[in-house]
Structure 1
Amino acid sequence: MSRKLLFVVNVDWFFLSHRLPIALAAQQQGYQIHIATGLTDRLEELRRYGFVVHPLVLDRSSSGLGDAWRTMAELWHVFTDVKPDVVHLVTIKPVLLGGLIARLTAMPAVVVAISGLGFVFLARGGRAAVRRFLVGALYRLALGHPNVKVIFQNAGDLQIVTRLARLSASKTAMIRGSGVDLAGFAHLPLPGGVPVVVLAARLIADKGVLEFVNAARLLKQRGCNARFALVGTVDSANPSSFTDVEVSRWVGDGTVEWWGQRPDMPQVLAAARMVVLPSYREGLPKVLIEAASCGRAVVTTDVPGCRDAIDPGITGLLVPVRDFISLANAMESLIEDPALCQRMGDAGREFAVRTFDIRQVVHAHLQIYEELIGKSQGAGDSGRASRKGTL
């Protein structure tokens, strides 16, 4: 019988954008792929790949205990029905709740992907501090499985979670991001005409959207000849999301353009002079490694995840977080110096080839699956041998 690999992800589109190549490669290696996820409109797409889909009622915006209990009950049924050889937990709620259920149902092997620590670790104030304390306790419980590998995308997250969960080094791995298809995101010449500066992300405060808008407004006041484009949608399930009305107001006053959600990111990047992401914190942002692969200079913030996605001063520029004036100055320096943009973009492509090739990322995941399955089978054989010896 084929081995079963179960992904647990908060929403279907995130799985398709960030984990699909891993699932397809595992499928080619003989794994039967199961996905437990919240659904939008991507169910048939998942099924066309031959995956078995288990819908979850997973409200990303809720932090209530009632919703958590319901999700854990759903996961209990999925885990016990599927009986996977490996459970791969992705995004914060699946990691915390799925990790607990994986221990309670004695799953043989668990892979945990820490792809960013989320707004709990960004929020300020007393309530946020209490939440961080509680989340830290949950991490210790969720990541306490005896046969677990926790994958981190940057050293900052590794340090924090390792301390919170008291993880040993043997239970951690570093894989820098979700990888990029170097052929699909080909090295492109810089476009002519008026420079286009792109921020591609969900339109939430934590991505630095307001800083980008304020920087664009400042540069227009300075007479800078450039276009500034937001590529993405609002995310009503996220507490820091902007609204359609707010974004439309920015467009209406001429500060930015809004291109919406785009499935053709290589074409978006082909139109851009540079890519900007003034995020407050990330795992390792996919858009920045896609930008590097296409040969685009990057301006981003000096925070965990973002700083790990570039070679500072070589492939892009780092600016202080929440500082739109520094952001505007960095953007302006690249707008006015296309030769510097070209050099940074060329260096970015070389950096992507060395560091972010999707084939390396997929291979690393498949090795982890095999390692954990081997350990679980060895533990089972040892237990059987031990019981046989006592008869």
Structure 2
Amino acid sequence: MSAPTTILYFVNQLEFFLSHRLPLAQAAQKAGYRVHVAGPRSPSVARLEAEGFVFHHIPMTRSGVHPVQELATCWQIYRLLRRLKPAILHNVALKAVCYGSLAARLAGTRAVVNALTGLGFVFIARHRRARVLRQLIMAGLRLAFRQRRHRLIMQNHDDPRLFIDAKVVPPDEVVVIRGSGVDLDQFRPSPEPPGEIRTVLVSRMLWDKGVGDFVEAARELKRRGVPVRCLLVGDHDPGNRASVPIEQLTRWHEEGVVQWLGHSSEVAEVFARAHIVCLPSYREGLPKVLIEAAACGRAIVTSDVPGCREIVEHGRTGLVVPVRDGGALAEAIETLARDDELRRSMAGQGRELAVREFSVQKVLEETLAVYGGLL
């Protein structure tokens, strides 16, 4: 790249950007791009700026749909695009994708990359309001994606069909890049710890991550007398409609059915102290936590839904169970808890899969190639 080219990342949460997209922004910077990041201000701004990125405050709620606030967000990102004139706008997550794409179309932005990391609450919920919102979102995206140069990055092979069949995006504009990748040096295998078998669910404490089903499975395991400890690691998320109330988490913990340990920034260490990693989610883009668990050499139990089944090969790297089925989840956890040889075999094959398919370097190379193809 002969002269610096500006790329603008538009996100609805800086913390998510740092945890999932920081290596990409660093790689873009190293490749010669001037990196700008737009989103709601938070304490993470200092870390962004320490990386040499330029931050732009865009007021945005994560889940609100207040018309005046939403229009203000669209207006602010439109004004920024007109002023900054980036060569590439890279929108991350559904709300930023919707608003950023519409603003880019009006502003005449040269190229747009949209990354849908998962389809979220609106695409998981079954009630009438969610169905109406889905229809409105698809109609809006159908309009917003009409860009001169556009690519839609999706993380699994199930989700693109939903958008292609609805004629939201043509097939030649869709690229599947499987997740954010994993640092194979940071997340490395370690021997299982001695003592009681531990199964852990690491995620935000959301109902649609299957937290309730995990607790149901823990009750069943306790009733059967299976010697396994069930741990929840992650914080409650009051900004998300699907958040499990902190009072509920506390009651489960005090009851003794599960241990809720709260947030941990040392996920690799959490896996090192566990034997089984569980994520009974209702839908995912490509869950980073399962890639990290595989890289750490831990057997996995997950649900048979988009994203999760992209990582776990049933009977080889873990066990896949029907979604929203606490009984099946308990059965799978018990199978792995009682069979050391099976569990360790799956753990080893999971590490091989992570090395072969999910290294962060592979993801970075594929994404930078998308940028290059649009310029």
Please say whether Structure 1 and Structure 2 have the same fold, judged by a TM-score greater than 0.5: yes
Of 124-133 and 89-98, more deviation after overlay is shown by 124-133
Q: Which residue of structure 2 lines up, in the alignment, with residue 253 of structure 1?
A: 255
* Cα shift readout 1:343-385 (whole Å, capped 9, x = no counterpart): 0000000000111010000001111111101xxxxxxxxxxxx
Contact 2:303 2:323 in 1 (8 A): yes
**Which structure has the bigger radius of gyration?**
1
Looking at structure 1, the residues matched to 134 and 238 of structure 2 have their Cα atoms a distance apart, in angstroms, of 23
Q: Which residue of structure 1 lines up, in the alignment, with residue 208 of structure 2?
A: 206
Whichever residue aligns with residue 40 of structure 1, its letter is S
Instruction: Give the C-alpha shift of residue 262 in structure 1.
Output: 1.0
Q: Which residue of structure 2 lines up, in the alignment, with residue 46 of structure 1?
A: 48
2:158 counterpart SS class: helix
Q: Which residue of structure 2 lines up, in the alignment, with residue 134 of structure 1?
A: 136
Contact 1:137 1:164 in 2 (8 A): no
Instruction: Give the C-alpha shift of residue 66 in structure 1.
Output: 1.6
Q: Please tell me whether residue 33 in structure 1 is matched to residue 35 in structure 2.
A: yes
Distance 1:165 1:106, change over 3 A: farther
* Cα shift readout 1:326-359 (whole Å, capped 9, x = no counterpart): 0000011111112111000000000001110100
Q: Which residue of structure 1 lines up, in the alignment, with residue 117 of structure 2?
A: 115
1:6 counterpart SS class: strand
Q: Which residue of structure 2 lines up, in the alignment, with residue 262 of structure 1?
A: 264
Instruction: Give the C-alpha shift of residue 193 in structure 1.
Output: 1.2
Instruction: Give the C-alpha shift of residue 256 in structure 1.
Output: 1.1
Q: Which residue of structure 2 lines up, in the alignment, with residue 61 of structure 1?
A: 63
Pick aligned residue for 1:334 from 333, 336, 341? 336
Whichever residue aligns with residue 308 of structure 2, its letter is C
Pick aligned residue for 1:355 from 357, 361, 369? 357
Instruction: Give the C-alpha shift of residue 41 in structure 1.
Output: 2.1
Looking at structure 2, the residues matched to 352 and 261 of structure 1 have their Cα atoms a distance apart, in angstroms, of 24
Instruction: Give the C-alpha shift of residue 107 in structure 1.
Output: 0.5
Whichever residue aligns with residue 222 of structure 1, its letter is R
| Structure 1 runs of 4+ with >3 Å offset | none
| Superposition RMSD in Å | 1.0
Looking at structure 2, the residues matched to 268 and 78 of structure 1 have their Cα atoms a distance apart, in angstroms, of 41
Whichever residue aligns with residue 95 of structure 2, its letter is K
Whichever residue aligns with residue 327 of structure 1, its letter is L
Looking at structure 1, the residues matched to 366 and 186 of structure 2 have their Cα atoms a distance apart, in angstroms, of 21
Whichever residue aligns with residue 109 of structure 1, its letter is A
2:319 counterpart SS class: strand
Whichever residue aligns with residue 319 of structure 1, its letter is V
1:8 counterpart SS class: strand
What TM-score, normalized to structure 1?
A: 0.94
Contact 2:138 2:168 in 1 (8 A): no
Contact 1:201 1:207 in 2 (8 A): yes
Contact 1:196 1:228 in 2 (8 A): yes
Whichever residue aligns with residue 355 of structure 2, its letter is V
Q: Please tell me whether residue 23 in structure 1 is matched to residue 35 in structure 2.
A: no
Q: Which residue of structure 1 lines up, in the alignment, with residue 95 of structure 2?
A: 93
Q: Which residue of structure 2 lines up, in the alignment, with residue 323 of structure 1?
A: 325
Q: Which residue of structure 2 lines up, in the alignment, with residue 174 of structure 1?
A: 176
Contact 1:143 1:165 in 2 (8 A): no
Pick aligned residue for 2:346 from 326, 341, 344? 344
Whichever residue aligns with residue 185 of structure 1, its letter is F
Instruction: Give the C-alpha shift of residue 165 in structure 1.
Output: 4.2
Whichever residue aligns with residue 118 of structure 1, its letter is G
Q: Which residue of structure 1 lines up, in the alignment, with residue 81 of structure 2?
A: 79
Looking at structure 1, the residues matched to 138 and 72 of structure 2 have their Cα atoms a distance apart, in angstroms, of 21
Whichever residue aligns with residue 326 of structure 2, its letter is F
Looking at structure 1, the residues matched to 65 and 340 of structure 2 have their Cα atoms a distance apart, in angstroms, of 46
* Cα shift readout 1:253-288 (whole Å, capped 9, x = no counterpart): 001111211111111111110110000000000000
Q: Which residue of structure 1 lines up, in the alignment, with residue 192 of structure 2?
A: 190
2:166 counterpart SS class: helix
Q: Which residue of structure 1 lines up, in the alignment, with residue 239 of structure 2?
A: 237
* Cα shift readout 1:123-160 (whole Å, capped 9, x = no counterpart): 11322221111111011012111200111111221101
Q: Please tell me whether residue 223 in structure 1 is matched to residue 245 in structure 2.
A: no
Whichever residue aligns with residue 267 of structure 1, its letter is E
Contact 2:37 2:56 in 1 (8 A): yes
2:282 counterpart SS class: coil
Pick aligned residue for 2:151 from 138, 149, 152? 149
Looking at structure 1, the residues matched to 353 and 152 of structure 2 have their Cα atoms a distance apart, in angstroms, of 25
Instruction: Give the C-alpha shift of residue 57 in structure 1.
Output: 1.4
Unaligned runs of 5+ residues in structure 2 are none
Contact 1:139 1:161 in 2 (8 A): no
Contact 2:48 2:55 in 1 (8 A): yes
* Cα shift readout 1:190-227 (whole Å, capped 9, x = no counterpart): 22111111101110111000000111111111111121
Contact 1:334 1:341 in 2 (8 A): yes
Q: Which residue of structure 1 lines up, in the alignment, with residue 313 of structure 2?
A: 311
* Cα shift readout 1:20-76 (whole Å, capped 9, x = no counterpart): 111001111111110011233211111111110112211112022222101101101
1:155 counterpart SS class: coil
* Cα shift readout 1:222-263 (whole Å, capped 9, x = no counterpart): 111121111111111111111111100000000111121111
Whichever residue aligns with residue 216 of structure 1, its letter is A
Unaligned runs of 5+ residues in structure 1 are 374-391
Looking at structure 1, the residues matched to 90 and 166 of structure 2 have their Cα atoms a distance apart, in angstroms, of 20
Contact 1:282 1:304 in 2 (8 A): yes
Identity %: 44
What TM-score, normalized to structure 2?
A: 0.97
1:146 counterpart SS class: coil
Q: Please tell me whether residue 295 in structure 1 is matched to residue 319 in structure 2.
A: no
